[in-house]
Structure 1
Amino acid sequence: MDKTFSTLEQRSNSSFGYWNRAVADTYFDMHLSYQNSEHFNGVLEAWDLSVVQLSCMTSDGAIYKRVQKDCSTNERQVLVTLPVQSEIEFSQLGRTTRCDPGQFLLELSEEPFVFGHSRHNEMWVLKIPVSSLRARIGEPKRFCARSYDAQEGVGGLLGDYFRLTMRHREMAYDANVRALMGAHFVDLLALSLQGHPDALQSSQSAVRDAHLARIEEYVRKNLCDPDLAPDSIAQACGISLRYLHLLFKDAEASVCQWIREKRLQSAYEMLQKAAPQTSIAQIAYAVGFSDHAQFSNAFRKKFGQAPSELRAPKMARGAGRVPVAGIEIASGAISRTHH
């Protein structure tokens, strides 16, 4: 494990402050109140899986509150929480839901929320950058504060993968295996959300979300096309170009900017998993960049390092890598290799 926090090693009167710091260090700043104001026990373990962080929180009852002044949009994160022992209550974006063992829910870091459980509980939590999830399902806000099934269908596969990974958490896997495990988590989460009836619900319009879901699917399947553009997307999705731009009016980026973000995020994840013999140029072409220099410049601007710098530690480790057959977007949507 990469981090371990335990109140068992703390004096009783210092366990509350210690747990506050442990939660902030693992997730982000929150205000906590406790079911028992005199005594609290908790253990928090966390593992780095490259793009995502997996953690196991076992503790007495508590309420976790994220207030507006602590919220930031600079590093947007999503927490995916799966309770194991007892139910949790969660409120965000004007919605309140109860999540029982066998279910999971999503929490946004940049919006205030209240999260709590009154009884002793064990919870498994994924911390995922919004950019990684948005590349597959679009804006995740529409999926937050809802309970999803972790026992049947693709959600059941996600729940099973949680359990499988927890059984292997003491194994000293190298960075390549961890990156692959993290990508599997994101893929299974995205697939389970896409197949859920709530996928087409939002606070705005089911029709609008239906169009966005169709646009997202088309772009994922055609991300390797360097000529992918608003006009071809609109035509393929049966809407006007004007309406396409209107759909993105309230988004954080224009259509073209959104496509570029998806290309760069997919490239980042592919660099984490690709076999050593796969060149950076191949990865750039696989996500639709026809100019290697342009790709490298855009990648450095977004991630603060060149593709070769991200690749360097992996190349230096030599053998023992997890091979990736061909060049694939992590979601499996694109499987063509460009030469």
Structure 2
Amino acid sequence: MDLVFTTDELEPSKRYAAWQDAICDVYVHVDVNAERRSDYEGFIREARFGTVTMTDVLLSEQRITRRERHIAKLDKDCYYVEFVQRGKVNILQASQTLLSNPRVGAIFSASEAYDLECVGKVRSLYLEIPRKEFAARFSESKLPVAMTIPTGRGLGRIAAEFCATIAAEGSSLDETVRSRLGTELMDVLALALDMGDRDELSEDATAQKSRLRSVKAWIEQHLTDPDLSLETIAKSNGVSLRHLHYLFRLTDMSVSEWITDRRLHRCYDVLTRPELRSLSVTEVAYRFGFSSSSHFSTVFRKKFGHSPSDLRRR
């Protein structure tokens, strides 16, 4: 791939400013902000495969922002597809957050406002895909929007590995072959997005149980979030909402019932710990995601046979 920009040849004190100039005003029209600027490191390599542009990017920890003033400078309407090789990137677009990492890719719109939060040092492959040409591969009801792409298995893995292979080997090929590869890459990506749910539901029982354990562990870590939603859980774990419900068929509870049950047990534990008696019942309820103390007391009594206040007095 052709080198577009690198900080390697610059003095450490000048790297971040040079990166800002290269990224903000020349390459992609965004704002970047990094807290640690003294040891900044990054590069951009690029290759074109017909109408598809691929970049291999190294980013130090930073936040990348695109707003209307940046979008006004764009001369094309396209999607971005990201396959993270190392690190993590949180993609914020259209009031949702997509969490991407080496096992979960993402697709989002380049011509709508977004934020990218690079957690740690990130190495990633980006595809710039023309929206109209890519959208022609879907029915109108299935046009892709901002969504994750599981890349640990199935068609998502095939798409990610195909992309990585092209990045490593494709630059030496002639223009005609590269153009065909770009078309075929869009076909594979479209198939992975179109078949996402069906591919997920083909997991064997062992894989489903393993994924369910992983999802439950993630939920446990976020029980205190009052805004925890099924959509957030699904996107953060690289599964569709439909597949999330399907996984919980392995239990005797729905997803929502399981979350409420776990929150109640965590509250029960806090209420019986003498060292936490300074917390009121209402504070305990709010701490674990309940938005109403009366509702909390009702479901608590139904679960344990007595009210939270009775438990604490006993």
TM-score normalised by the chain length of structure 2? 0.58
Seen in structure 2, the aligned counterparts of structure 1 residues 140 and 93 have a Cα distance that, compared at 3 Å, is farther
The answer to whether the 8 Å contact 2:107/2:149 transfers is no
Paired residue secondary structure (1:41): coil
The answer to whether the 8 Å contact 2:77/2:111 transfers is yes
For the aligned residue pairs, the C-alpha RMSD in angstroms reads 2.7
Task: Indicate the structure with greater strand content.
Answer: 2
Seen in structure 2, the aligned counterparts of structure 1 residues 26 and 156 have a Cα distance that, compared at 3 Å, is farther
Corresponding residue of 2:136: 135
Seen in structure 2, the aligned counterparts of structure 1 residues 139 and 44 have a Cα distance that, compared at 3 Å, is farther
Seen in structure 2, the aligned counterparts of structure 1 residues 60 and 185 have a Cα distance that, compared at 3 Å, is same
The answer to whether the 8 Å contact 1:33/1:62 transfers is yes
1:267-320 superposed Cα distances (whole Å, 9 cap, x missing partner): xxxxxxxxxxxxxxxxxxxxxxxxxxxxxxxxxxxxxxxxxxxxxxxxxxxxxx
Corresponding residue of 1:119: 120
Paired residue secondary structure (2:132): helix
> 1:51: how far off?
0.8
The answer to whether the 8 Å contact 1:4/1:46 transfers is yes
Seen in structure 2, the aligned counterparts of structure 1 residues 106 and 113 have a Cα distance that, compared at 3 Å, is same
Matches for 1:16-55 after TM superposition, within 5 Å: 16-24=16-24, 28-55=28-55
Query: Which whole-Å CA distance do the structure 2 matches of 1:75 and 1:141 have between them?
Result: 22
> 1:172: how far off?
1.9
- Amino acid across the alignment from 1:77: C
Seen in structure 2, the aligned counterparts of structure 1 residues 162 and 176 have a Cα distance that, compared at 3 Å, is same
Q: Do residues 80 (structure 1) and 88 (structure 2) align?
A: no
The answer to whether the 8 Å contact 2:135/2:143 transfers is no
1:160-214 superposed Cα distances (whole Å, 9 cap, x missing partner): 2022213314x5211011101111111111111111249xxx9xxxxxxxxxxxx
- Amino acid across the alignment from 2:93: Q
- Amino acid across the alignment from 2:70: D
Corresponding residue of 1:15: 15
Paired residue secondary structure (1:84): strand
The answer to whether the 8 Å contact 2:142/2:194 transfers is no
Could you list the runs of 5+ residues in structure 2 that have no partner in the other structure?
A: 199-230, 232-314
1:15-68 superposed Cα distances (whole Å, 9 cap, x missing partner): 223223443578521100114132310011000111101111112111110112
> 1:135: how far off?
1.1
Seen in structure 2, the aligned counterparts of structure 1 residues 164 and 25 have a Cα distance that, compared at 3 Å, is farther
Seen in structure 2, the aligned counterparts of structure 1 residues 138 and 13 have a Cα distance that, compared at 3 Å, is farther
The answer to whether the 8 Å contact 2:59/2:123 transfers is yes
Query: Which whole-Å CA distance do the structure 2 matches of 1:94 and 1:83 have between them?
Result: 22
- Amino acid across the alignment from 1:96: T
Seen in structure 2, the aligned counterparts of structure 1 residues 25 and 195 have a Cα distance that, compared at 3 Å, is farther
Query: Which whole-Å CA distance do the structure 2 matches of 1:192 and 1:174 have between them?
Result: 27
> 1:82: how far off?
0.8
Query: Which whole-Å CA distance do the structure 1 matches of 2:160 and 2:6 have between them?
Result: 26
- The alignment of Structure 1 onto Structure 2 pairs a total of residues equal to 199
Larger Rg: 2
TM-score normalised by the chain length of structure 1? 0.54
The answer to whether the 8 Å contact 1:20/1:30 transfers is no
Q: Do residues 161 (structure 1) and 125 (structure 2) align?
A: no
Query: Which whole-Å CA distance do the structure 2 matches of 1:180 and 1:40 have between them?
Result: 37
Could you list the runs of 5+ residues in structure 1 that have no partner in the other structure?
A: 203-339
Q: Sequence identity of aligned pairs in percent?
A: 18
Corresponding residue of 1:282: none
